[in-house]
Amino acid sequence: MPFLNVKLGPLELNTPLLTASGTFGFGEEYASLMQLEGLGGLVTKTLTLLPRAGNPPPRLVETPAGLLNAIGLQNPGLEHFLAAELPRLRQWNLPLIVSIAGDTPEEYVQMAEALCREKGIAALELNLSCPNVKKGGVLFSADAALLETLVSRVRLAWEGPLIAKLSPNVTSIVEAARAAAAGGAEIISAINTLRGMVIDVAARRPLLGNLSGGLSGPAIRPVAIKMVYDIYAATGLPVIGMGGIMHTADALQFILAGAAAVAVGTANFVEPHTIPQIAAGLHQYLEEAGLDNLQELVGAAHL
């Protein structure tokens, strides 16, 4: 039986398949539908320091091979997470990756400090697709200098593996990846959703309550693969690739492009067993290709 285990810098996973943040809640909802032990790890919904109410409805609309969402980071806040969700998540024998976001660098740091005191967290993922409220709403991913400072401050507060999740809505995601690495992130997650809009023709208004949203699903897959390919080529950092993965072949595209692990988001809504199905598919692929270990394939598409 070939091995699927991977090492992403300091983070070791038995299976290179994670849930994408915001698509699996805190795991509880899917626990009755499937064996969570089959996941390589669970990435939580992004947490903020204080609870967030989220955006007005409608929050979702299907687009060709895609999903446009504007949830608005609705979450119960850090305190509730620590008291109510974390103890339950710890009981599952599963690497837990906590995703956090803030309006200001200070909020990220404060959350990292609080989480650093907790046991049972395998890694911290910084959702860097949020606007920096202090800097006129520029995305944290869009300003390399700011991004590096933010990551380096979190680095001082958090001792475990640190993942920087980048937004594709920037001029150069490679520059953002370099800045995150310079700040001390060991792993890059890419990509978050692409900004988009749907107009309700009958109403002559944007359909979403928030007007615009983030696009996910198979529609964004080629964009995501190119970004992962570029980040890998430019930085050599371990990358968690995501964007429209539905099947084994999609995951393999990301791995060949340079992703050491992948995450599944929108596909969970379509088929809750996507991750275990892809895990089985990867085993089969390795066996048929006569390979012992998936790591041999990471980045193999590069000349």
Partner 1 sequence: MKQCQARVLDLVEVKGGFFSLTLYEPYLAATARPGQFIHLRVGSGVAPLLRRPFSVAGADPAKGTLHLLFRCVGEGTKLLSRSREGELLDCLGPLGNCFISSGAEPAVLLAGGGGIAPLIFLAESLRAAGRELYLFYGAAKSADLLPLEQFLSPGPVVKYATEDGSAGEAGLLTAVFQRALAAGLFPGELFACGPRPFLAALAQQNQRRGYPLQVSLEERMACAVGACQGCAVLIRRNGREDYLRVCREGPVFQSTEVVW
Ligand X SMILES: Cc1cc2nc3c(=O)[nH]c(=O)nc-3n(C[C@H](O)[C@H](O)[C@H](O)COP(=O)(O)O)c2cc1C
Catalytic residue among 130, 166, 187, 225: 130
Q: How far apart are CA 150 and CA 234, in angstroms?
A: 21
Near ligand X by CB under 6 A, which window of 177-185, 227-235, 236-244, 281-289? 236-244
Q: Tell me, residue by residue from 272 to 291, as one string, x for binding to ligand X by CB under 6 A and - for no binding.
A: --------------------
Q: Tell me, residue by residue from 196 to 225, as one string, x for binding to partner 1 by CB under 8 A and - for no binding.
A: ---------------------xx-------
> Which value, to the nearest 10 degrees, does the dihedral of the CA atoms of residues 52, 71, 105, 98 take?
90
The owner of tokens 């996941």 is: 39
* Residues 17-76 close enough to bind partner 1 by CB under 8 A: 22-25, 29-30, 32-33, 45, 53-54, 56-62, 64-67, 69, 71, 74
**DSSP code of residue 121:** -
Nearest residue to 182 (alpha-carbon basis) of 220, 140, 153: 153
Size of the site for ligand X (CB under 6 A): 26
6, 13, 22, 86: which one binds ligand X (CB under 6 A): 22
Q: Which two tokens stand for residue 220?
A: 């964004």
Q: How far apart are CA 103 and CA 112, in angstroms?
A: 14
Quick one: what does residue 272 bind among partner 1, ligand X, none, with the CB cut-off 5 to 8 Å set by partner type? partner 1
Q: Which two tokens stand for residue 79?
A: 């305190």
* Residue 253 in the binding site for ligand X (CB under 6 A): no
At 222 the three-state DSSP class reads: helix
Q: How far apart are CA 264 and CA 217, in angstroms?
A: 9
Whole-number minimum distance, CB 62 to ligand X, in Å?
11
CB of 28 within 8 A of CB of 19? no
Our CB check for partner 1 shows the closer of 58 and 120 to be 58
Give the orientation angle of helix 221-235 with respect to helix 173-183, to 10 degrees.
50
> Can 130 be counted among the known catalytic residues?
yes
Quick one: what does residue 15 bind among partner 1, ligand X, none, with the CB cut-off 5 to 8 Å set by partner type? none
Whole-number minimum distance, CB 126 to ligand X, in Å?
9
* Residues 242-261 close enough to bind partner 1 by CB under 8 A: 246
Measured from the Cβ of residue 203, the count of other Cβ atoms closer than 10 Å reads 8
* Residue 188 in the binding site for ligand X (CB under 6 A): no
Residue 68's DSSP bridge partners are: 61, 215
E strand or H helix at 155: helix 144-157
Furthest C-alpha separation in the chain: 57
**Residues engaged in binding ligand X (CB under 6 A):** 20-23, 45-46, 67, 69, 71, 73, 99, 127, 165, 192-193, 216-217, 220, 242-245, 264-267
Q: Which residue ranges make up the site for partner 1 (CB under 8 A)? A: 22-25, 29-30, 32-33, 45, 53-54, 56-62, 64-67, 69, 71, 74, 217-218, 246, 266, 268-273
